[in-house]
Structure formats: structure tokens, C-alpha cells
Amino acid sequence: MFVHTVFFWLKHPENRDDHSALRAGLESIRGVNEITTVYIGTPAETRRPVIDHSYDFALTLVFVDKAAHDAYQVHPIHQEFVAECAHLWERVQIYDAVS
């Protein structure tokens, strides 16, 4: 299994239109067949010193293997998402894990 987790910080987090646009862009990724599981979320209301809740959106994608992840990276839907939404975020942080 290959797990790809991406955190997004919006340039203008107070702008509801930007929030909605990024959410819609993230939802479009569901159309990539190589993904077995998609989770899109926002920070939970948990507050402990070890928790970073500074991001605006989290995207977690599960693939059967690295080859499926690599296919996703060049998939037209993913490429379109980046092209259409990159102007919305100021930071992206990615964590990949394998099992």
C-alpha cells in the first residue's frame, strides 16, 4: 500500500470562494481510477501541543502501490487540478508512506 497525504495552506483562508474552489478541485481528484481511497478534510477541533492544525485542507490518497501513485502524478485530472488551483495555496506539505 502507498499512502499520499497532502496538506494545503490557502493564501487567503478567510476567503470563502477560495475555500470552495480548493474543495471543488480536491473533489475532482476522485475521478482518478488509480486511487483506492480518497479522504478530504479540514483540521479537527483537537488542541494539543503535538497537533499542527494550521493547515486549511488535508488530502489523503491510498494506492495499491507506488506504480499507481506514479500514474496518478501524471494523470490529466491531477495535472488539471494543479493548473487550476495552485494559485489558491501558499504552501503545500506532502508525506508519503508505504506498508
d(CA 77, CA 17): 21
Domain range for 19 is 2-45+52-98
Query: What's the number of domains the chain is made of?
Result: 1
d(CA 72, CA 45): 31
Domain CATH number, residue 35: 3.30.70.100
Query: Grid coordinates 496518478 are at which residue?
Result: 72
**What is Dmax (Cα atoms) for the chain?**
39
Give the Å distances, CA to CA, from 12 to 29, 46, 88: 22, 23, 8
pTM of the full predicted structure? 0.94
pLDDT tens for 8-62 read 999 999 999 999 999 999 999 999 999 999 999 999 999 999 999 999 999 999 9
